[in-house]
Structure 1
């Protein structure tokens, strides 16, 4: 199923993003073994191997063995591993850096409730180190990857734009994730104000598609495994939360566009407005479109705290990013079709 990923890369190359501006540049990507970080790394490797872009890639990772397995099918002559624990270690780069994408984050639900202090420290300390490095190196542009969870519980109904922040329960340890993301966004704004750093924030909706890792255990991957195995889809919540979604290739386009344009110090929602539904409805649609008549949606709520985000009802606006020229193309049905093909391989 590498062809699906290659199709995605061709789609990005032929999109509204001026990819040629990355030719002969150097790019640093944190979280290069995570979903978005690995896809960006593979995209730049693809540009080098198929288009001779001569991009020098610095991949910040925690586990080199994991990285080498992930990139074993790619020519890695232009890939430089930087092994670092961003909570404690500085990131040392000898050469110049043109662009930075800070994608590293703790996202596993159980860790968010079992080690909330660690989550906050990794988030804040890591972001500070990367922004300091960007200032030191005089980079052209930085994109920090944030999350739709920063909106908390919206105070308004209807379309949620970038300035419509809601409440976050600060007594809930699980809030370590959205609250630390908020502070990191403010750090980005502060670095822009104090040091003139060209940094923008990409607030990603739930992102999935071709290229997800074997270790992925978020709800969309669980749905697909159930379809492939001919099993019922089991929900561990009532499934009433309203989700906002975007395909991986569309998300990559957004990040690349923000590296090249946008207003420094500001945040942008990355969401396909047409991809909005409840978790339960999405599960039902996946079975209807890709499953069998024997499969159904089952609700089985565990007694233990699984670390899931609080139930939320909101629909994100993608208008601000779309005004820059970004155009998401893949709807939920296409997202699942491509993801099933990828994971089934």
Structure 2
């Protein structure tokens, strides 16, 4: 854990809109805990537990207990963490009480949606079904499912996308194994809320990055980060016409916790930093100009690389802001990249 990541964790004290007192003496179960967002959730909860004496317990469902323990070795009060080994496809038994569930486990690499669509679907559907049944059994106070902006499909350019708009997808395109399974998981959340009273909520995250991104991550922001670090030109395999907002990881965590503790059951919430809206090409050019490198275009077939078609994803975050959420990091695109790369250097 580098200094930038530690600074991000400590910045959580600025999130005065989160009702931390609701977590006192509670047990929180987290899936996807070793991922980019999940690991920051764990570290932030551990930090707030230490400075506020919340007396929380955190249950982590992980594929590899040894690797997970290594991931969180710098958390001082280790007795708040309980590791249970298992997968989303074969979900383990969870003993004891659970008050809150944060379900973040998911396939995240675009190429895997194409190469391993069955695994992508199984992780989503089987995992979410198991966790919603667990939430029902344990009578949890709140459950949040980490969904994606991809459920909106391909909105029109210039259109602000609200939560009541869902896209249409052809099931014959294997890459759609990801957004279609996300939509099904959202439907399951609403069904469990309606039929069984499970207080399930949904956050639809835009593309999220920040300190903690792995150097070899296959996603575009990590590639840009490597180009910055290695002083290499950015080579784009598409025209970079896709437009979207982005979200710094710490702000994603505050959005998730806000919805978990203040959101309405059966509701979905967009999470993005609207001021960061730009195209991939614009983002590349901004980063290149800041770092004195160039952007080179070598156009290839998008589908074979797992890239989504060109989309315009301008998310409306009014519903989230109505809960009191706001960006505590207040970074522009180049500021987000600077923090990500500075942490990569560590």
Q: Same fold (TM over 0.5)?
A: yes
Match in the other structure for 2:82: 80
> Which runs of 5 or more structure 1 residues have no equivalent in the other structure?
none
How many Å apart are 1:37 and its aligned residue? 1.1
Query: Per the alignment, do residues 219 and 274 of structure 1 end up closer, same or farther by CA in structure 2, a change over 3 Å counting?
Result: same
Separation in structure 1 between the aligned mates of residue 72 and residue 276 of structure 2, nearest angstrom? 31
> Which runs of 5 or more structure 2 residues have no equivalent in the other structure?
none
Deviations 1:15-64 (A, max 9, x none): 12122322221100001111111111111222334443321111111122
Match in the other structure for 1:313: 312
Match in the other structure for 1:170: 171
Match in the other structure for 1:269: 270
Structure 1 residue 186 corresponds to structure 2 residue 187: yes
2:151·2:166 contact (CA, 8 Å) conserved in 1?
Answer: yes
Separation in structure 2 between the aligned mates of residue 101 and residue 170 of structure 1, nearest angstrom? 28
Match in the other structure for 2:92: 91
2:238·2:297 contact (CA, 8 Å) conserved in 1?
Answer: yes
Deviations 1:123-179 (A, max 9, x none): 101100000001100110011000001101126841111112222222101000000
Give runs of aligned pairs for residues 52-201 of structure 1, distance below 5 A.
52-75=53-76, 76-87=78-89, 89-154=90-155, 157-201=158-202
SS at match of 2:58: strand
How many Å apart are 1:297 and its aligned residue? 0.6
The runs of at least 4 consecutive aligned structure 1 residues that moved more than 6 Å come to none
- What is the total number of aligned residue pairs between the two structures? 341
TM-score by length of structure 2 reads 0.94
Match in the other structure for 1:246: 247
2:215·2:226 contact (CA, 8 Å) conserved in 1?
Answer: no
2:9·2:43 contact (CA, 8 Å) conserved in 1?
Answer: no
How many Å apart are 1:111 and its aligned residue? 1.3
Separation in structure 2 between the aligned mates of residue 137 and residue 215 of structure 1, nearest angstrom? 38
1:269·1:318 contact (CA, 8 Å) conserved in 2?
Answer: yes
Query: Per the alignment, do residues 41 and 151 of structure 1 end up closer, same or farther by CA in structure 2, a change over 3 Å counting?
Result: same
How many Å apart are 1:85 and its aligned residue? 1.5
Deviations 1:215-264 (A, max 9, x none): 42211111011011110011122111012211111111111111111211
SS at match of 1:17: coil
Separation in structure 1 between the aligned mates of residue 62 and residue 294 of structure 2, nearest angstrom? 39
Match in the other structure for 1:281: 282
Separation in structure 2 between the aligned mates of residue 337 and residue 231 of structure 1, nearest angstrom? 16
SS at match of 1:274: strand
How many Å apart are 1:72 and its aligned residue? 2.1
1:156·1:164 contact (CA, 8 Å) conserved in 2?
Answer: no
2:144·2:203 contact (CA, 8 Å) conserved in 1?
Answer: yes
Match in the other structure for 2:4: 4
Match in the other structure for 1:333: 334
Separation in structure 2 between the aligned mates of residue 147 and residue 260 of structure 1, nearest angstrom? 20
1:241·1:278 contact (CA, 8 Å) conserved in 2?
Answer: yes
Separation in structure 2 between the aligned mates of residue 32 and residue 190 of structure 1, nearest angstrom? 25
TM-score by length of structure 1 reads 0.94
Task: Compare 58-67 and 261-270 and name the one that shifted more.
Answer: 58-67
1:154·1:165 contact (CA, 8 Å) conserved in 2?
Answer: no
Separation in structure 2 between the aligned mates of residue 244 and residue 123 of structure 1, nearest angstrom? 24
1:246·1:330 contact (CA, 8 Å) conserved in 2?
Answer: no
2:157·2:312 contact (CA, 8 Å) conserved in 1?
Answer: no
Deviations 1:87-132 (A, max 9, x none): 1x23322221111100000111221111112211221011000000
How many Å apart are 1:9 and its aligned residue? 2.4
Separation in structure 2 between the aligned mates of residue 119 and residue 86 of structure 1, nearest angstrom? 11
